[in-house]
Homo-oligomer: A and B are copies of this chain.
């Protein structure tokens, strides 16, 4: 930490790196540090492989985020919310050119890949760590920086609803509201924004919902042709499994997405008691008790029947 503070104080030019498919935490955290570095009279460049989703645009209107190929090498590179080196995508080639690298992140699994690493696995979000760093740098948190940090914390905790929500998250939110952030506007723009394609995909997916065992198991299967028909990407399927779980009768939600060559991507959720992680493990997948997934190759009907009977067993345990 002290070495990171010293490095920031003693240098003038920084490259800040977000992870691929940037989310609210990497964007908000990077913007907060960027604005702070500029306020200290330093040079800072925001770098990301991918353009953030449209609903984040309003956050960085004053700044530009550049592709790694367009950035110059800086004496100090800082990776923000990148759980491992690969999370930076192509940007890591630019990152590793800097003589000094810094890694700021909140994932327990982070392998500390930089010269200086500030990894705090107990933090709700990288935004919370950046807040601590700015305090150490004696940066005044103004409304702009508060907006970025609120974005980071509120998006990574699902608006203070996930299990990583700590008392500290709420204390920081309290501080940011006192600084004047517009909670209703931020929340509606950050949390509830959906592309038209994703909206139509949701409708199609629900129309394909199948229920088993007193509606306790819900299953949706989306084929490649469904995605093609709506012109949406595989990533747009991401939260469909949550919609299944949120049906009041459902304990186990299963979402199957067709990939190539008889391969299927399975995502599972449970609500209260079933350990869907145990199903994923059988197929060599990962995750935990309430949320897990795995790829499975083989005959679709067999896979589906196996998943349903495995899920049924969990209902009776």
Report the bound CA distance from A204 to B200 in whole Å.
Answer: 10
**Interface residues of A: mostly helix, strand, loop or mixed?**
helix
Chain B nearest Cβ from A65, distance in angstroms: 18
What is the count of identical protomers in the complex? 2
Q: Are A215 and B196 in contact (CB under 8 A)?
A: yes
By size class, the interface of chain A is 35 or more
Report the bound CA distance from A211 to B246 in whole Å.
Answer: 28
Report the bound CA distance from A190 to B110 in whole Å.
Answer: 33
Chain B nearest Cβ from A12, distance in angstroms: 37
Collect the chain B residues with CB atoms within 8 Å of residue A211's CB.
Answer: 196
A109 at the interface (CB under 8 A from B): no
A61 at the interface (CB under 8 A from B): no
Collect the chain B residues with CB atoms within 8 Å of residue A213's CB.
Answer: none
Report the bound CA distance from A196 to B216 in whole Å.
Answer: 11
Among B163, B193, B199, B248, point to the contact of A183 (Cβ < 8 A).
Answer: B163
A200/B191 contact (C-beta < 8 A), A174-B167, A183-B165 known: no
5 contacts between A and B (CB under 8 A): A161-B183, A192-B246, A196-B248, A203-B205, A203-B206
Collect the chain B residues with CB atoms within 8 Å of residue A200's CB.
Answer: 206, 209
